[in-house]
Structure 1
Amino acid sequence: MSTGVIIILIVIVAFVVIAAAVLMTLRARRGPGGQHLKRRFGPEYDRAVARHDGDAKAAERELAERVDRHGSLRERSLEPAQREQYEARWTAAQERFVDSPREAVAEADRLLAELAGARGFPDGGQYEEQLAALSVHHADHVHGYRRVHRVAHAGVGVGGDGGQAADGRAGTEEMREAMVEARALFEDLVSPARHRAESRTSVVKPAVRSNGGPSHARGHHMPWGFNRRHAKGS
């Protein structure tokens, strides 16, 4: 074999090696593929695609960037006393909803921000960044936080039973639905990791009432099957 042929073969091999390295680098920069992102983010993937007007590639770039920024985050555990305080505050917010939906939703929004911060997510003052981090680790339920935050900042409209007031502000029914959806994320964050799978499939029993008063017994929650007439407009 002549020296010229050997040189050509070396050049070809070097070109193939360089091309493979470039492809691997580009693939790493793109981050997880579409199917992986769909599995990881679930309904949050579809929402991202909708926000990008159906552009799946743009949505995947956004979601991959979230994973890059927050994928390595390690959630901190709550002390038992902290957990009890958060549970008591959430129960109080649910009970307050009946007479003051607006204040209850605002408290739920604040509580989720504080709880997420306590678990090691970005501070609640950085709402968008906190939401992005939560979406990476709690994709199934993060929309509840997004919804309750939006409703809390929209206020409440006139006519307490309406889904949305004429001026675009949230009505009582929309606030109730937001609270119900947000509760799933709250339970995800407040529960020890080993109990999450069980809590997602368990049936929450209505709180026991005595003498007409609400129950504050540990572990009980206000029943959230109430319909519109249970909440007063504000």
Structure 2
Amino acid sequence: MSTGATIALIVVAVVVVAALAALTLRPRMRRRRLERQFGPEYHRAVAEHGTPEKAQEDLEERLRLRRDLDVRPLSSEARERYRADWAGLQEEFVDAPGQALVDADELIGRVMRDRGYPADERDEALAALSVDHARTLQSYRSAHAVARKAQEGSATTEEMREAVVRARELFAELVEAGSGTPRPTTSH
């Protein structure tokens, strides 16, 4: 075998090995990127869809959905109005915890709509929120479930109190996003 043929064979072998390495690394890199961006929502999607591949397709679709939205920060006036509304909910909780929780859920929907998220179709809203607010979305899901129980009259006051605290996490992120103000911490 000539020196040229040997070099050509080595180059082809290196290209094949590099291509195989790229093909095996790409899915791992995709998974890591989605895990990092979606955090606990990634694992929830895997459990929901049954396989990482189906979950990743769903999460990629959520990213496409979010790219098509015109999500914007709130004006300073809107932020102040929503903060005042939340303070009113906290006061309302003392006398009517169930209603306060339902009102909190509705207030979050109004903030979502004002920010440019789809708020009318729940699944679409959660999918869009998961892109920007994956870390607090599970807290909101839990709070929403308790709000439904409260409407049915089957939630305890402690469940409702915890739900309001959990809902506040997403509320604070939605209200403060893009304002340049650090998000207030929630106390339990």
TM-score (norm 2): 0.76
Q: 1:77 & 1:194 partners in 2: Cα distance?
A: 7
More helix by share: 2
1:140 aligns to 2:132 (yes or no): no
User: CA deviation digits over 1:174-207, x for unaligned, max 9?
Assistant: 22222111111111111152535x325x5x6xxx
Which structure is richer in relative contact order (CA contacts within 8 A, separation 6 or more)?
Answer: 2
Quick one: which amino acid aligns to residue 175 of structure 1? Answer: M
Q: Is the 8 A contact 2:73 2:179 kept in 1?
A: no
Aligned length: 167
Q: Distance in 1 between matches of 2:58 and 2:174?
A: 24
Out of 31, 35, 41, the residue aligned to residue 34 of structure 1 is: 31
User: 1:92: which partner in 2?
Assistant: 88
Q: Helix, strand or coil: the match of 2:155? A: coil
**Aligned-partner residue type, residue 89 of structure 2:** A
* Structure 2 SS opposite 1:170: coil
- Structure 1 unaligned segments of length 5 or more: list them: 1-19, 159-168, 205-223, 226-234
- Runs of 4+ residues over 4 Å off in structure 1: none
Determine the C-alpha separation between the residues in 2 that align with 1:172 and 1:103: 11
The answer as to 2:163 corresponding to 1:155 is: no
Cα displacement string for residues 86-135 of structure 1 (whole angstroms, at most 9, x for unaligned residues) = 1111111112112211101100100001101100111x221211111111
Greater Cα radius of gyration, structure 1 or 2: 1
1:46 aligns with 2:49: no
User: Retained in 1: the 8 A contact 2:41–2:130?
Assistant: yes
Alpha-carbon shift at residue 34 of structure 1 (Å)? 1.0
2:124 aligned to which of 129, 140, 148: 129
TM-score relative to the length of structure 1 = 0.62
Gaps of 5+ in 2: 1-18
Q: Is the 8 A contact 2:74 2:179 kept in 1?
A: no
Offset of residue 72 of structure 1: 4.6
Q: Does 1:184 align with 2:184?
A: no
